[in-house]
C-alpha cells in the first residue's frame, strides 16, 4: 500500500500571495469596524433628524420638551408589543390547500417518446 505524505511549506508562497492575503483580511476587518461604529451611533443621527423635524413643525418656535432617550430594551419591548398587537388584528383562517388537476393540451416538448435514451435502444 502506498502512503501519501502531504506537506505544507510556507516558503513556496510568493510575496503576491502574502500581499493579497493581508489586504483581504485588513479590508474585511476594517469594514466590520466601520459597521460597528455606524450601528452604535445611528441613534444620534436619528435624534438629530427628529429634532430638525420638530423645529419645522413648530415653525421656528422653540418649545422646551424633555429629551426622550430610549434604551435598546425599551425599543425592543415597544416593537414586540406592536408586533403582537398587529398580528392579532387578522382573523383566524383555516389553511386548506386544494390542488386542482388541469388537463393540458399535447405538447411534443414534454413527450417522452422523443427522449435521448430511446434512440440508444434501437441501435
Q: Please tell me the predicted confidence (pLDDT) of residue 11.
A: 80
Give the whole-angstrom CA distance, residue 123 versus residue 118. 9
Show me where the domains of the chain are located.
Answer: 14-57
DSSP 90-104: SPP------------
pLDDT at 3: 79
Give the model's confidence band at 24: pLDDT under 50 very low, under 70 low, under 90 confident, else very high. very high
Q: Please report the pLDDT score of residue 53 as a whole number.
A: 86
Rounded mean pLDDT, 110-122:
60
pLDDT more than 90, % of the chain: 16
Least confident of 62-76, 78-92, 93-107: 93-107
Residues 16-45: b if buried by 16+ CB within 10 A, e if exposed: eeeeeeeeeeeeeeeeeeeeeeeeeeeeee
Amino acid at each position: 500500500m502506498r502512503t501519501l505524505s502531504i506537506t505544507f511549506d510556507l516558503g513556496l508562497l510568493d510575496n503576491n500571495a502574502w500581499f493579497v492575503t493581508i489586504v483581504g483580511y485588513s479590508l474585511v476587518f476594517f469594514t466590520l469596524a466601520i459597521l460597528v461604529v455606524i450601528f452604535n451611533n445611528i441613534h444620534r443621527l436619528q435624534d438629530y433628524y427628529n429634532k430638525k423635524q420638530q423645529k419645522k413643525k413648530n415653525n421656528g418656535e422653540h418649545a422646551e420638551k424633555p429629551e426622550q432617550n430610549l434604551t435598546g430594551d425599551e425599543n425592543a419591548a415597544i416593537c414586540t408589543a406592536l408586533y403582537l398587537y398587529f398580528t392579532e388584528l387578522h382573523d383566524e383562517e383555516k389553511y386548506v390547500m386544494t390542488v386542482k388537476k388541469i388537463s393540458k393540451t399535447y405538447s411534443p416538448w414534454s413527450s417522452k417518446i422523443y427522449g435521448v435514451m430511446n434512440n440508444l435502444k434501437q441501435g
